[in-house]
Structure 1
Amino acid sequence: MFSRELWLDNEKKCAVVRKSKPGRRRQELLAVALGVKVGVKGGFLWPPLKLFACSQISSLVRRAALTHNDNHFNYEKTHNFKVHTFRGPHWCEYCANFMWGLIAQGVQCSDCGLNVHKQCSKHVPNDCQPDLKRIKKVYFCDLTTLVKAHNTQRPMVVDICIREIEARGLKSEGLYRVSGFTEHIEDVKMAFDREILNADERLEAVHDVLMLLPPAHYETLRYLMIHLKKVTMNEKDNFMNAENLGIVFGPTLMRPPEDSTLTTLHDMRYQKLIVQILIENEDVLF
């Protein structure tokens, strides 16, 4: 198959291919993946070879992009390879040879998606660039994986929290000594793990879900939220804000379909949050 020198040379060619006209780009990418000279007239790619080339393009483009992107901080990271069963034909992105077998044909990096033979994984350089689509959480995540996924020098949670402390909390009594409320701490951690969506995007997503409710359910929920919003307008007397009402009504309105105590306990925080959002934005969502 390919020599290592030809493979590296093809990576460099990807930068040239990206600058070509859209009409030629696909054919040129296929040619680069196959090691064929770009621009040869009369070139015809046999369908199985096209399939092989397509399986290599993502790897070539990813590696070429990393090579030419100076914005990524130079933190070395090993790949997190795990045995993987591939559906359909797959080729090793290191040696470019076919992965034989029906199950467990090779390994895949769970952080960046690189697919290689098990033996080839021992020779892959420590150039893992985690994909945000694969990194599901902020807490309990490997530090190097986190910063490389977000292309930052430090975890964003550190920057955000320090900015808030220095802006509003330097004169707070018992700073870093007095513990916060566990419920609030878990809410903040959950917000980071769920990417802290833009407020408008979050409302739009909630609105789309509400539109899926049957008419009777929608009208009942709408009428109840109008009432609960009025309750919050008298918070000075009843001490019930949207968060408190979310704690009370969340388990009732957002009960999971299966009657599982463990599932209910796990979902309580999310149940409270969604009811809180519905109450606070009742005039916009309904």
Structure 2
Amino acid sequence: MSCKNGRMDDEIDRREKHKSKVNAFGMRYLRSVCGKIRMGRASDEWEMKKCGLKGNLTGQCERRVLRWFGDVERMRVDRVTKQIYEDEPMFGCHLSDVCNHEDSHIPRFVRLCVEAIESKEENMKTDGLYRVSANLSQVQKIRLQVDQNNLSVLQQEEDAHVLCGALKLFFRELKTPLIPFDVFDAALKASAYTNQKDKIKHFKEIVKSLPTPNRHTLEFLLRHLLKVTQFHSFNRMHISNLAIVFGPTLMWSEEETSNMAFDLMMQNLVIECLLQEFDSIFK
């Protein structure tokens, strides 16, 4: 009887230790160990099974996780934490999360992508820069590599359209736009002012109210776009053309409106105003 109770106590202790490990390192890492990031819920099912709940899991996935847990005791917590975030996706996140993880005000991907575009004069002279659609499969390859923390692909990429496509995709896939929902209406209103001083004043207030990563990233991106316009005789990208491209890329309404065409036109006007009055708004 005592042996049976001892085995039960051991089993309870084992399960409690398992639960504490799961809580400590999180289901997010289990998904990465199982190779199931953004796909399926195999690791959740395994966690349920090991905790005594009902759930199924493929043997291959279970072996991977068990192998990892076998190494946990030999790993320092800071090393585990580093592994959790090493391959954290860059695309489809909140801008603040990316910047907090990197301890920066501007995502490293944005900086390196812009640097790669500006590094060659031939890139800046490319006809239809940002307007011409890139090869989608190549853009997705860039995205996958960047999400695996391999940013060296940006310097290796020779097609300027692919780099521009990847940069646009990053901003389009943010969970909240670079110009956030809470200033959407104010930005549209500011762009409609006919008095230039009033327009600049309201845009300065809007920019000042932005979260730090949004403000710094917006300024960095607009400064880059102004450099693109300096080659307009080659790339045919004037401020108005870039505004058409980046209006719906940098801002959108949280809810569908009754007049989407009008909002789209006003979004373009917001970016056009920010570019035209860049020095006055960001000084």
**TM-score, structure 2 length as denominator?**
0.29
Structure with bigger helix share is 2
**TM-score, structure 1 length as denominator?**
0.29
Report the structure number with the largest CA radius of gyration: 1
Higher RCO (CA-CA < 8 Å; seq separation 6+): 2
